């Protein structure tokens, strides 16, 4: 495959945009080659400016569960655009989308919309602190909750890919309130509670971690986490920005019995437009301005075009919940295929699937936490990524990310991807 135009475009971008990208993970720093510059998407495919076509397993990092250019979402967006791009005033579509979310999530009585997952989590944390009157929070190493100060500590996703899980520029005075626990290890959580002098406002967790690769929390661990939070009057926040409407219609909450106090959402609820949301029990949400004193605001929050895209997405998902079984089956076929391709060249691989989310590690042991994830063979992953790209398969450019299946991902695409995996693994291990 030729990438000449993308290479030139990257050089141009580099001159005026730091690293040539507007979000670090896009820069291909953890893998080989330069990022293809995308011209357009169509269904399950991406097309770059050199005319290369790729089967897209990134799907804009999760939002596009119906693939690119879904006609229903497109129509809803165009209709909304014709009515006006933004009003900075209430619209009924916000209430409609909120109602859909409230109806689906037992843990959410009220929800507020923002413009990104980062904003959603940042606001949820402030609300948890305002509600409890406590400053400390607990997060898990390898979980990524966006790039706000308190949460950019031992974070996954791009932070892990670049080897800076804790960013310079974040005041130590702030991060001293962020206590770190180990994913799937309840004793480490209990230690945080023992260490906290000021009391813990909330524990935030990706109940299905998607930012250290795909690493689901064990059911017993989540139940124990709930119990510890109850014991201490601490709020439990499920960050379902990635897993919401991806792992199941109700995200992780369609799989676990554990009910959080607050939930953060994003990605799919915007249907490809910038949307985030945070919600929870009404007693908690009542502390949010203007009902309560905890301030949070946004000029473009609840933007009518983004709301229209999200509402159409969610209604499509709700009207056909069986599609999660189809998506999961395709994800399982893909992962079984990758695993067999790895076995064929004696390379150890572990895989996992949750609904439309899939993950694989070049590792010979189960991955239960960030330390395990860090042990994956990243050099081999980099080579695999390049070989797959050259064969028209677009995978996330880091082993600390998750892959996604959309309704536009066909069986033929899965088959082609498995074939590419066999060829690639044979080539890179020869």
| Catalytic residue positions, numbered | 144, 239, 267
Which of 73, 82, 211 lies closest to 140, judged by CA?
211
Nearer of residues 354 and 391 to ligand HOZ, judged by Cβ:
354
Among the listed residues 63, 158, 272, 359, the single contact to ligand HOZ using CB under 6 A: 158
What are residue 179's phi and psi, to 5 degrees? Answer: -95, 145
Nearer of residues 73 and 209 to ligand HOZ, judged by Cβ:
209
Nearer of residues 189 and 353 to ligand HOZ, judged by Cβ:
353
Nearer of residues 158 and 302 to ligand HOZ, judged by Cβ:
158
Site map for ligand HOZ, 85-124, x if CB under 6 A?
Answer: ----------------------------------------
State the DSSP H helix or E strand holding residue 14, giving kind and residue range, or none if neither.
helix 4-16
DSSP 147: S
First to last CA, the chain: 21
Site map for ligand HOZ, 20-39, x if CB under 6 A?
Answer: ---x-x--------------
Token reading at 357: 């989310």
Site residues (CB under 6 A) for ligand HOZ, limited to 46-65: 61
What are residue 264's phi and psi, to 5 degrees? Answer: -115, 140
Which of 400, 340, 395 lies closest to 142, judged by CA?
400
305: contact with ligand HOZ by CB under 6 A: no
Smallest distance, ligand HOZ to C-beta of residue 337, A: 24
230: contact with ligand HOZ by CB under 6 A: no
* Integer CA distances (angstroms), 6 to 3, 14, 38, 202, 349, in order: 5, 12, 8, 44, 31
Site map for ligand HOZ, 185-214, x if CB under 6 A?
Answer: --------------------------x---
Instruction: Judge contact between 195 and 333, C-beta under 8 A.
Output: no
d(CA 10, CA 3) in angstroms, rounded, equals: 10
Nearer of residues 211 and 313 to ligand HOZ, judged by Cβ:
211
Smallest distance, ligand HOZ to C-beta of residue 133, A: 31
Smallest distance, ligand HOZ to C-beta of residue 272, A: 13
Pairing of strands 235-239, 136-140: unpaired
245: contact with ligand HOZ by CB under 6 A: no
Site map for ligand HOZ, 129-148, x if CB under 6 A?
Answer: ---------------x----
d(CA 26, CA 304) in angstroms, rounded, equals: 28
**Nearest residue to ligand HOZ, scored by beta-carbon proximity:** 23
Nearer of residues 251 and 337 to ligand HOZ, judged by Cβ:
251
Instruction: Judge contact between 318 and 100, C-beta under 8 A.
Output: yes
**Omega prior to 290 cis, within 30 of 0:** yes
Smallest distance, ligand HOZ to C-beta of residue 359, A: 12
Site residues (CB under 6 A) for ligand HOZ, limited to 391-410: 401
Among the listed residues 157, 409, 417, 424, the single contact to ligand HOZ using CB under 6 A: 157
* Integer CA distances (angstroms), 344 to 40, 105, 332, 348, 349, in order: 35, 43, 18, 10, 11
Smallest distance, ligand HOZ to C-beta of residue 158, A: 5
Pairing of strands 178-181, 136-140: parallel
Nearer of residues 140 and 144 to ligand HOZ, judged by Cβ:
144
Angle at 290 between CA 289 and CA 296, to 5 degrees: 30
Task: Give the count of residues interacting with ligand HOZ (CB under 6 A).
Answer: 8
Task: Kindly list the residues in this chain that would bind ligand HOZ in the complex (CB under 6 A).
Answer: 23, 25, 61, 144, 157-158, 211, 401
């Amino acid at each position: 495959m030729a990438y000449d135009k993308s290479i030139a475009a990257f050089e141009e971008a580099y001159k005026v945009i730091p690293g040539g990208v507007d979000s670090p993970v896009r820069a291909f720093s953890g893998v080989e080659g330069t990022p293809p510059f995308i011209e357009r998407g169509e269904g399950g495919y991406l097309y770059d400016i050199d005319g290369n076509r790729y089967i897209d397993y990134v799907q804009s990092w999760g939002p596009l569960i119906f693939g690119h250019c879904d006609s229903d979402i497109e129509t809803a967006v165009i209709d909304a655009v014709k009515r006006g791009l933004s009003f900075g005033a209430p619209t009924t579509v916000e209430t409609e989308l909120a109602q859909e979310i409230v109806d689906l999530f037992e843990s959410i009585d009220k929800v507020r919309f923002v413009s990104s997952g980062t904003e959603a989590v940042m606001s949820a944390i402030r609300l948890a602190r305002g509600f409890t009157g406590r400053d400390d929070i607990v997060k898990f190493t390898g979980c990524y909750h966006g790039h706000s100060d308190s949460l950019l500590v031992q974070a996954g996703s791009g932070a892990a890919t670049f080897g800076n899980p804790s960013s310079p520029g974040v005041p130590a005075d702030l991060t001293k309130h962020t206590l770190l626990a180990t994913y799937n290890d309840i004793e480490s959580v209990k230690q945080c509670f023992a260490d906290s002098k000021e009391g813990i406002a909330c524990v935030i967790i990706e109940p299905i971690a998607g930012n250290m690769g795909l690493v689901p929390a064990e059911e017993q661990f989540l139940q124990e986490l709930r119990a510890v939070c109850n014991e201490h009057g601490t709020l439990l926040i499920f960050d379902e920005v990635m897993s919401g409407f991806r792992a199941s219609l109700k995200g992780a909450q369609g799989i676990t019995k554990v009910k959080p106090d607050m939930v953060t959402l994003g990605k799919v609820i915007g249907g490809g437009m910038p949307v985030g949301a945070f919600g929870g029990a009404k007693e908690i949400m009542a502390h949010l301005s203007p009902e309560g004193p905890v301030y949070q605001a946004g000029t473009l929050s609840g933007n009518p075009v983004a709301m229209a895209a999200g509402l159409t997405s969610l209604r499509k998902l709700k009207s056909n919940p069986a599609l999660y079984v189809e998506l999961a089956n395709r994800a399982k076929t893909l992962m079984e295929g990758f695993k067999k391709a790895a076995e064929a060249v004696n390379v150890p691989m572990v895989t996992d699937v949750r609904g439309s989310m899939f993950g694989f590690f070049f590792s010979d042991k189960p991955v239960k936490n960030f330390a395990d994830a860090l042990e994956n063979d990243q050099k081999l992953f980099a080579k695999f990524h390049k070989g797959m790209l050259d064969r028209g398969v677009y995978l996330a450019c880091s082993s600390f990310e998750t892959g996604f299946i959309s309704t536009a991902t066909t069986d033929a695409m899965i088959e082609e991807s498995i074939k590419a995996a066999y060829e690639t693994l044979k080539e890179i291990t020869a």
